[in-house]
Structure 1
Amino acid sequence: MCINSCLAFTGPFSELSECPTCNEARFDSLTELPRQKFHTIPIGPQLQALWRSAQNTLYDDVYHGRDYLAAVERGDITADDMMLLFSIDGAQLYESKQSDCWIAIWIILDHAPDGRYMKKCVLPGTFIPGPNKPKNVDSYLFPGLHHLAALQREGLKIWDAHEDRVFTSHPNDVSQWSRWSSRGIRL
């Protein structure tokens, strides 16, 4: 990433050797190593780990909306799909200090509201060190969303401990996914 947190050298910026915003070099001239790094934690293995416990339960409070019900009726969303919420915000790590990192998280909506926001169900997505606010947030989100898109396209094999079965979560038809993708994230 840029030493000034302007952007991450991902996607369309992956071949650049300096930041197009502040012109800072991407690599240290002596070691040829990146001057600054950020971290992305892929969502796929985290989702697989959650299904390994038979104690996980589904809850339907989020699933009464018109868009969701229409997507289920069309077959865009099946019983083997999971609904995710994505959030990113700055975090102040020390008292009396400006935010010095940004954290993105995934929340699995398939859990009851009283457990949905517990540590086990709030999954880390990306950590962006500061001290500055990222200027091009999309460039930091690219690796995690690219991973999610691959899971949506290729499927994610999951062992369901509750039902003692293996299933693959993915859309039945890519054309159905393109209709749904503009409305939200689903896996």
Structure 2
Amino acid sequence: MIGKTVCTICGENRYDSLGKPRKSAFYFPLIPRLKMQYADPIRAKELKYRANYIPNSQKISDIYDGKLYKELIEEDDCWVLMMINNNLSPEIRVKRKNLLVTAVIPGPNQPKNFNSFLRPVINELKLLEEGILCFDGDSKQEFKLKSHVIFWCGDIPAITKLMCITGHNSYMGCRMCDLKGIRDLTNNHIYYPLKPPRDYHKSPSYNIRNLPLRNHNKYDKLSQEWQNLQTDAAKKKFAQDTGIFFYS
């Protein structure tokens, strides 16, 4: 959307007659707040929780015992993006004062191209992945702070936007697997039976122990296929068949 004066989704002008944006989202940079927290002696001690944590191979007491983390180290209605600092201990990390609000996307309508609002967040996360210079108020020394996203979470609409999927009321709406839904004509909703009704022959049966799961490689492949689509009709058909809809 950078440099464009007309919205690629609705076709409306992005700026008013005075050249001001018709609507703006709010972004709160992450890096300055991380630096300020580490510069505070008390908070700097609290942030050493992860560094001092002893992993437990017998049970999961915190995210650092999980497989994913171990692999890693080897105005109206609005949308709020928050970060949880897992360097803090579980007892305090999710308290309101410790949550890092990084973006507020105003309503009343939900964002169409959600990922376009994430651009400044992603830019900062790239810098944090490489490492930034910080001052430790506890040890009184400078150090290189690196930060990585362990996982994203949210309600169904938010995850739908984040993952570029068509949503829970579509035929391929599951974000975890490729189950094909069936429309219930009595209430006009989609549901996902493992075994279709007797008089319905358009959907296969599924083994709950061997579901056709989605994975990163599939998403990459579908993304490449999307880039080759030339018409809106082809993109709509693609979304119906795959449950995934990328924005240009």
Q: Which residue of 1 aligns with 2:212?
A: none
Partner amino acid, structure 1, of 2:137? A
Q: Which residue of 1 aligns with 2:136?
A: 160
TM-score scaled by structure 1? 0.65
Moved over 4 A (4+): none
Q: CA deviation at 1:184?
A: 5.0
Higher alpha-carbon Rg: 2
Q: Give RMSD over aligned pairs.
A: 2.3
Gaps of 5+ in 1: 1-12, 75-92, 94-98, 172-179
- Pair 1:48-2:35 in alignment: yes
TM-score scaled by structure 2? 0.50
Partner amino acid, structure 1, of 2:69? Y
Partner amino acid, structure 2, of 1:107? I
Structure 2 CA distance for aligned equivalents of residues 111 and 142 of structure 1: 26
Partner amino acid, structure 2, of 1:33? K
Partner amino acid, structure 1, of 2:20? L
Q: What fraction of aligned residue pairs are identical, expressed as a percent?
A: 28
- Pair 1:130-2:130 in alignment: no
| 2:33 match: secondary structure | helix
Q: Which residue of 2 aligns with 1:84?
A: none
Structure 2 CA distance for aligned equivalents of residues 136 and 166 of structure 1: 39
| 1:23 match: secondary structure | coil
Q: CA deviation at 1:143?
A: 1.1
Q: Which residue of 2 aligns with 1:36?
A: 23
Q: Mapping of 1:30-179 within 5 angstroms?
A: 31-56=18-43, 57=46, 58-59=49-50, 60=53, 61-72=62-73, 74=74, 100-153=77-130, 155-170=131-146
Deviations 1:140-183, CA, capped at 9 Å, x for gaps:
11111112212323x21111112221101249xxxxxxxx88x6
Distance change >3 Å, CA 103–CA 67, structure 1 → 2 = closer
Gaps of 5+ in 2: 54-61, 153-248
| 2:39 match: secondary structure | coil
Question: How many residue pairs are counted as aligned between the two chains?
Answer: 138
Higher RCO (CA < 8 A, seq sep 6+): 1
Structure 2 CA distance for aligned equivalents of residues 26 and 17 of structure 1: 5
Q: Which residue of 2 aligns with 1:87?
A: none
Q: CA deviation at 1:17?
A: 0.8
| 1:134 match: secondary structure | coil
Which protein has the bigger strand share? 1
